[in-house]
Structure 1
Amino acid sequence: MSTWQAILGDQQPSAGGVRQPALALCDHLAVIRVTGDEAGDYLQGQITADLKHIDEGAQRLAMHLSLKGRGLVSARVAAMPGGYLLVVPQARVDDTLRCFEKYKLRAKADFQPDPELAVAQLSGGVDGTLAEAGLPVPGAGQSAHRDGITVLRYAHADVTLLVAAPGLLGAHWQALSAERALVDGNGARFQDILAGEAQVFSGGEDLFLPQVLNYDVLGGVSFKKGCYTGQEVVARMHFKGKLKQRMRAFQYQGPPLRAGESLRNADGKAVGEVVDSAPGVPSPVALAALRVTHEGELYHGDQPLHAEPLELPYPLPQPKA
């Protein structure tokens, strides 16, 4: 929290999510800068999203895959002056660097964490707050950069990330925080879950095809661009396969659920894996990759979760017959 201390003063963020306009301190996220003459060409061959759209102003969730087409790491990708930003889970920075650098060889692309950049999240009433703060207001799924602040707007939810040096965020803090609940990183994950936007957290490595985490709906996987690691498996599933799992959201009763943990039905049969969870009001929420045929209660071990489905803010494709 030391990064935020000069900004916050006596303010103390609440732990967990709220269902009202909020400003979150995303200390669970970090930023990696990608620069170099061949940064775009190299990144295009390493991630599932099409960098063409990102170069045109979009922001996208994207994965770097294993040879079997499962996500090893993920990032929210946006263009910046001179290169690209990768917003990744703080705990997975080293893993992300290893994944992106293992094929680099002599490519002129440099991946460097930037500890001088902080990430905040606005949720609810985003347009008005950005305008009041004198910040750009990108369209849905787009990014904008002005005077050292990058604004990343989610495609299907009233949520935006702000990436900047703490001093720049501090200059706009009064307008950003006015009439908003101040929450911590768990509060930001709470909003991501409600938005149906997931990253690959520790424990979820090499488990999920991008389509399973709905990246096909979110524009985070391209079936038309050139090759990338794992592309054949992903394309085969899209054009010829029958997807057995889809990510769904629910609220539940119980302790935090960790990525990769198994969820079971009333008969004790595994029906999916946890993608992420976060505490909040009135109850915790979670994302899980569940079998498309699953209905009924979910169990964590032998404990029922009293799970109640939450509607995602985007439609899912109908399963193939």
Structure 2
Amino acid sequence: MNPVWQAFLQEYNATIEKGHVIHFRDDVTELKNAQTDTILVDLSNFGLIHFSGEEVLTFLQGQLTCDLRKIDHQTAQYGSYCTPKGRILANFIIWSHADHNEYFMQLPSTLLEAISKRLSMYILRAKVRLNDSSDSLIRIGIAGNKAKLLIEEIFHSIALPISPLGIIHTEQGSILCQDINRYEIITTLDHAVMIWPHLALKAIPVGTFCWDWLEIKAGIPVILPMTQEQFIPQMVNFDVTGGVSFQKGCYPGQEIIARTQYLGKLKRRMYLVNIASSQPVMAGDQLFSAELSEQSCGMIVNATPSPEGGFDALAVIQTNSVEAGKIFWKNLEGPALQILSLPYLLPQ
């Protein structure tokens, strides 16, 4: 986290640990706010890699699962970076700025260094530059019924995108539509310290876990260190949400990912669930069903406390276990998962 930005947020009573805003008041109240009010969130828990250079489009097109030809000045993309075996190392949102020689990739800050290093190994003599822009560009999330109106009050005379992954660029910064009534502002530190106080007059500052909860409810996973190399893109529904293209050329893992799509039957899918537990549910936790006895039938991808109680989570689970009945957290004596409805339909 940018140290000047951190000090600024602490003036607004932010409690910050390891570069993440934990809360401004208390967790329980802020989670209720995320459910019913318009909230304001610092997104420094995500890192930002800046790619530039004459050959950047060709380079990234050969490394990532998404089709960068579909990115323009008004449209971002979900995507992932995989091993040669098709297992996800990281997922992200990626967008272009000035032209197709400049891209920004947003991913968890805990993965930024390793992913940057791995991608740098493949640049070789390509005319591509890679830089960490996490501290130079501040990311602010705003969500709720008033989100669009509050942004329009600050960014005068602009037409905000209203479809997911629509993006607009202004002199004050870029505005990315993450979901209906949920936006992200990407701007410089100088602009951020002016924008935040105006938004905080009518939106409630909350910890980053509130944004995590909104991502979970939207069915958008975030691969973390404990879940790296556990899933192929279709397991986390990227074939539904647009994080993988089957019409582009080769990239690491492409053969296995394509074979699964066209020749195989996908045995695991990601589901939205609630777990009635008083103990923390964590990414990487194993799931079990009676049919498989001691063998795991799934894994938690992301989890956060639910305003309704327990934990809401995204979990990759064997489809036949979901169809068969009860699934349990950590062991067969653990709490049973309640399967909830995702905001999109899964292929039958």
TM exceeds 0.5? yes
- For the pair shown, the structure with the greater C-alpha radius of gyration is 2
* Aligned AA (1:188): W
Alignment of 1:216-235 (within 5 A): 216-235=239-258
* Cα 1:178/1:271, change in 2 over 3 Å: farther
Partner of 2:167: 143
Moved more, 221-230 or 274-283: 274-283
Alignment match of 1:87 (pick from 95, 103, 106): 106
Match of 1:10 among 9, 12, 19: 12
3-state SS in 1 of match to 2:223: coil
> For the Cα contact (< 8 Å) 1:48–1:220, is it kept in 2?
yes
Per-residue CA distance 1:274-300 (angstroms, 9 max, x = gap): 111123423322111111122324222
2:273: which partner in 1?
A: 250
The worse-fitting range, judged by mean Cα deviation, of 232-241 and 289-298 is 289-298
Counterpart amino acid of residue 133 in structure 1:
I
Q: Deviations over 1:251-295 (max 9, x none)?
A: 223333333331112444411111111234233221111111223
SS for the counterpart of 1:160 is strand
- The 5 Å alignment of 1:186-201 reads 186-201=209-224
Q: Which residue of 1 aligns with 2:115?
A: 96
SS of residue in 2 equivalent to 1:211: helix
Counterpart position of 1:301: 331
Question: 2:301 aligned with 1:278, yes or no?
Answer: no
Helix, strand or coil for the counterpart of 1:298? strand
Question: What amino acid is the match of 2:312?
Answer: V
Q: SS where residue 265 of structure 2 aligns?
A: coil
Structure 2 match to 1:310: 340
CA–CA distance in structure 2, aligned partners of residues 54 and 4 of structure 1: 32
* CA deviation profile, 1:189-236 (whole Å, cap 9, x unmatched): 111111111121111111111111111111111000111111111111
SS at match of 1:286: strand
Unaligned runs of 5+ in 1: none
Matched to 2:288, the amino acid is R
TM-score between both structures, scaled by the size of structure 2? 0.84
- The correspondence of residues 125-140 of structure 1 with structure 2, limited to 5 A, is 125=145, 126-134=147-155, 136=158, 137-140=160-163
Give the one of 129, 137, 142 matched to 1:122.
142
Whether the 8 Å contact between 2:73 and 2:97 is mirrored in structure 1 is no
Once the two structures are TM-superposed, the CA of residue 8 in structure 1 deviates from its matched residue by 5.9
| Residue in structure 2 matching 1:45, options 62, 75, 81 | 62
Higher RCO (Cα < 8 Å, 6 or more apart): 1
Task: Indicate which of 257, 261, 285 corresponds to 2:285.
Answer: 261
**Aligned sequence identity (%):** 26
User: Which one of the candidate residues 287, 298, 301 is aligned to 2:314?
Assistant: 287
Is the Cα contact below 8 Å between 1:207 and 1:260 reproduced in 2?
no
Once the two structures are overlaid, the 10-residue window that deviates more, 210-219 or 259-268, is 259-268
CA deviation profile, 1:81-117 (whole Å, cap 9, x unmatched): 2511111101111111022122211111111111222
Deviation at 1:30, TM superposition (A): 1.3
Cα separation, partners in 2 of 1:303 and 1:5, compared to 1, 3 Å = farther
Distance 1:127 1:69, change over 3 A: same
Structure 2: unaligned runs, 5 residues or longer: 15-23
Relative to the length of structure 1, the TM-score reads: 0.91
Given the superposition, is the C-alpha separation of residues 180 and 302 from structure 1 closer, same or farther in structure 2, using an over 3 Å criterion? farther
Q: In the aligned structure 2, how far is the partner of 1:61 from the partner of 1:95?
A: 19
